[in-house]
Amino acid sequence: IGQEAVPVGVSEYITKDDFVFGCHRSHGHLLALGTNLENFFLEILGKKNGLCAGIGGSMHLQDLQSRFFGSVPIVAGTVPLALGAAFAAKMDQKSGLAVAYMGDGAVEEGVVHESLNIASVMKLPIIFVVENNFFASHMNITERQPSHFVARYAAANNIPFEIVDGNDVMAVSAAFGLMSKQTRESHNPGFIEAITYRWLGHVDWREDVDVGVSRDKANIDAWKLKDPIKRLYNAMEAECWIDRREYSKITLEIHNEVNSLWKKCSEQPETVLTRETPTVF
């Protein structure tokens, strides 16, 4: 739906010592880390064999094996948790770092600015990754802030930052790869602002509506031309790394796997919560 390049580019450099924290829209973050798709589906459906025993559902996800330590629907709610994980990594004197995903609306929460300040002053190994798609729930960034870009908050806290094309997976990968190397070596924080766009509404399946606020259909169509998946395919095809037949084969295999697993998971029995239900946290 337009934002796939960011988590894929970031996840390439995540190690077993890292801590990744999502936000309220984190399916892509977890999938890019290589989580078990069947258990992922079961969790979304509230089934007992889900990642969190069906208790977390779609927004309260966690998969420690994939180094994903949690997502919550509270805006910016995981940012200070990621900060704490970075502090723990520093105390353990390991090469691990924390990643805090957030949207452009999260920077309007006070805890983000407190976290930026603490990360800078204490020199904590954390990278703040902002997926700037210009809409915080239902209001365009031009109606909320004096600038389209939010990296100015990193600059205010003396945190190295980079603004990247969030629809170019190679650009995201290169930016995060370099920044993660610097953060691991120096224990200084970093900040990446990825400019992207979500095709669908905040809670709606339609493209031109975002919680009651109409969006310009022409603008959506223009962003679709920057589809990160098609851009990657076009680049690979131009370099003769893949052809249309192979791409179609891969796409069909993925669709078949997803549809088959979704059907299988949908037919599983519902979760029955009892006192004996084991904790997963």
Torsion of CA 153, 154, 156, 162, to 10 degrees: -110
Q: List residues bridging with 126 in a β-sheet.
A: 98
Contact indicator for 160, 120 with CB cutoff of 8 Å: no
**Rounded distance, CA 180 to CA 15, Å?**
11
88-97 mean pLDDT: 92
Using one digit for the tens of pLDDT, what is the confidence trace for 173-211? 999 999 999 999 998 999 999 999 988 877 767 776 666
- Quick one: pLDDT at residue 275? 47
- Quick one: pLDDT at residue 281? 47
Contact indicator for 52, 87 with CB cutoff of 8 Å: no
- Pairing label, strands 126-132, 98-103: parallel
Q: Which residue has the tokens 């094309």?
A: 165
3-state secondary structure of 45: coil
pLDDT above 70 covers what percent of the chain?
Answer: 93
Using one digit for the tens of pLDDT, what is the confidence trace for 52-76? 999 899 999 999 999 999 999 999 9
Contact indicator for 89, 81 with CB cutoff of 8 Å: no
Which string of b and e fits 184-220 if b means at least 16 CB within 10 Å?
beebbbbbbbbbbbbeebbeeeebebbeeeebeeeeb
**Rounded distance, CA 149 to CA 153, Å?**
9
In this structure, which amino acid lies at residue 134?
A: F
Burial class (CB in 10 A: 0-12, 13-18, 19+), 281: exposed
Alpha helices per DSSP H over 33-123? 37-44, 79-92, 110-122
- Quick one: pLDDT at residue 207? 76
- Quick one: pLDDT at residue 276? 53
Using one digit for the tens of pLDDT, what is the confidence trace for 110-143? 999 999 999 999 999 999 999 998 887 777 777 7
Contact indicator for 50, 265 with CB cutoff of 8 Å: no
Residue 242 neighbours by CB under 8 Å, 6+ apart: 233, 236
Mean pLDDT of the chain: 91
Q: Which residue has the tokens 């996800």?
A: 61
DSSP 214-252: E--HHHHHHHHTT-HHHHHHHHHHHTTS--HHHHHHHHH
Contact indicator for 71, 26 with CB cutoff of 8 Å: yes
